[in-house]
Amino acid sequence: MEALDAIEHDVDASFLPVQSDPELRAVYARWLGREGAVTLLMRRMPELPGPERKTFGQAINRVKDKVEAAKTVCEQRLREHARALDLGREPLDVSLPGRKPRVGRLHPLSRMMYDVIDAFVAMGFDVAEGPETDWETNNFERLGFPPDHPAMDMQDTFFLQQPDGATGPRALLRTHTSTVQVREMLSHAPPVMIVAPGAVYRRDDDATHSPMFAQIEGLVVDQGIALSHLRGTLDTFARKLFGERVTTRMRGSYFPFTEPSVELDASCALCGGSDPSCRMCKGSGWLEVGGAGMVHPTVLKNCGVDPEKYTGFAFGLGIDRLAMIRYQIPEISLLYQNDVRFLESL
């Protein structure tokens, strides 16, 4: 009974330092586990004579109840403590909207380029490609540029650095996709009917000129090709791209590699020429989209094609300008700044 009294005296205090569930289980086992102090005393009950056994049994039960009660109190204390800790933490606001993954899509210039290619492919054109770095012979000489032409000036064209002591043609960043005309005619006998899209480079920089921009070249060479074929092709193209309302017009112009040469204008897709204050066409009713013409006989000859037998037309359209018309973009640099807010607004 003395041992039991001592236990009863210690039970409450034994649970006080408990801070965790494992500690709780250990203290509980100290009293009521298989080798616990109360359990061991209980095992000795049979040693007692009958009447004493009963009194001792009652005392043991009282101590057991005390241990259980202390355990319950301790559990409650641990739960409250854990909850208080939880509430004290930085709150998790489950009502905040989740972060949506951003959905990517084609850049307006790529969309424009693909649509232009599709329009020509539907008319039967093949797609050809040329390198962005090329020789000045392909970019200028074979296209009939005289050696002193201002376009070949360092101020207009990005030349690649020559290795020391190098002679022969210089390499440059092509200034137009007309290089592909040369490459195509040198590698394929007529008939030729291709478009060649890609990036080109010039020392240009203003609201409608970018140092890097995209063009698409067209070249058709065969027997009996006439200016009327060029006109019909570009008219069909403009209507496919901008709708039935749009027509094209040709203005006389000059390129060393075409004769006659023309500038191609598309009628304004916005006002159709009816609004003198239209911000797209500035009231003229027309927008310049590219250059074109009949391939110069000298160019055919330079590229191994017999000009007595074959004729051809060529055109070069500015993809950026077409995109500016389609999306009504006032400043070409917006297409290259990759401001997602602007791109998403198109």
Binding site for ligand FA5 (CB under 6 A): 176, 178, 202, 204, 209-210, 213, 215, 217, 255, 258, 288-293, 314-316, 318, 320-321, 332
- Helix axis angle for 108-122 and 227-242, nearest 10°, is 130
What's the CA gap between 319 and 338, in Å, rounded? 17
CB of 270 to ligand FA5, least distance (A): 17
By beta-carbon proximity to ligand FA5, the closer residue of 41 and 212 is: 212
With CB atoms as reference, the residue minimizing the distance to ligand FA5 is: 318
CB of 322 to ligand FA5, least distance (A): 8
CB 201 within 8 A of CB 173: yes
By beta-carbon proximity to ligand FA5, the closer residue of 77 and 231 is: 231
CB of 150 to ligand FA5, least distance (A): 12
**Before 131, cis peptide (omega within 30)?**
no
CB of 261 to ligand FA5, least distance (A): 6
CB of 209 to ligand FA5, least distance (A): 3
By beta-carbon proximity to ligand FA5, the closer residue of 71 and 202 is: 202
By beta-carbon proximity to ligand FA5, the closer residue of 27 and 182 is: 182
By beta-carbon proximity to ligand FA5, the closer residue of 71 and 321 is: 321
CB of 291 to ligand FA5, least distance (A): 3
CB of 285 to ligand FA5, least distance (A): 17
By beta-carbon proximity to ligand FA5, the closer residue of 285 and 312 is: 312
By beta-carbon proximity to ligand FA5, the closer residue of 132 and 204 is: 204
